[in-house]
Amino acid sequence: MNRVWACLLVVIFMAGCNNNDGNPDAEVELSFTSKFVMKDKFGQEVDSFTVGETVVLELQVTNRSAIDVTYEYTAPGYSFTINANDSAVWRSNHDTVYSQVVTSGVIEAKKTHTYSIEWTGVNFNGDALSPGVYLAVPELGWSVNGSKLASPEARNITLH
């Protein structure tokens, strides 16, 4: 009978040791999602635009974790590129110089950060692109605990 009590006490003790509540060193599962959308001037999600129409390229990053999370990036932290035939014809940070300094930010638990930029269907020189199908590529430059977060998938954008 003493063996049973001893085993029971060990099980209770071990169960108490596995309780991570309030332990700042306990592992917490981090979960993020990122979404890329293109919007017209009315804020509607679409993927077809008229040449010269303003397109809003939007990157949404959501912290699905139960805790606030610190992320790091080297500026700009996010960017958008428009490609034609595997070559960039426009980039949101073209002709912009950034210092190569690691910066950090905090994304709150269960919150979304949204980054957007307007594009008017022009190339690097400011000339209107011809009608056709292009590839819009978002890039997220965040890392958490030394691991780079995945960027959302690129999407086709049609200019007509």
Kindly state whether residue 9 falls inside one of the protein's structural domains.
no
Nearest to 137 by CA among 97, 102, 73, 89: 89
Q: What is the CATH number of the domain that holds 149?
A: 2.60.40.2360
- CA dihedral sign, ordered 140, 93, 89, 134: positive
Kindly state whether residue 1 falls inside one of the protein's structural domains.
no
Task: Quote the pLDDT of residue 155.
Answer: 97
Kindly state whether residue 8 falls inside one of the protein's structural domains.
no
Number of CB atoms found within 10 A of residue 17's CB:
8
Kindly state whether residue 131 falls inside one of the protein's structural domains.
yes
pTM of the model: 0.78
Q: Which domain holds residue 96?
A: 30-159
Kindly state whether residue 98 falls inside one of the protein's structural domains.
yes
Kindly state whether residue 108 falls inside one of the protein's structural domains.
yes
Kindly state whether residue 96 falls inside one of the protein's structural domains.
yes
b (16+ CB within 10 A) / e for 125-160? eeeebeeeebbbbbbbbbebeeeebebbeeeebebe
Nearest to 51 by CA among 125, 126, 129: 129
Instruction: Going residue by residue through the chain, which has 160 residues, state the pLDDT in tens, using 9 for 90 and above.
Output: 444 333 333 333 333 443 444 545 456 789 999 999 999 999 999 999 999 899 999 999 999 999 999 999 987 889 999 999 999 999 998 877 767 888 999 999 999 999 999 999 999 999 999 999 999 999 999 999 989 999 999 999 999 9
- Count of the separate structural domains present in the chain: 1
Kindly state whether residue 18 falls inside one of the protein's structural domains.
no
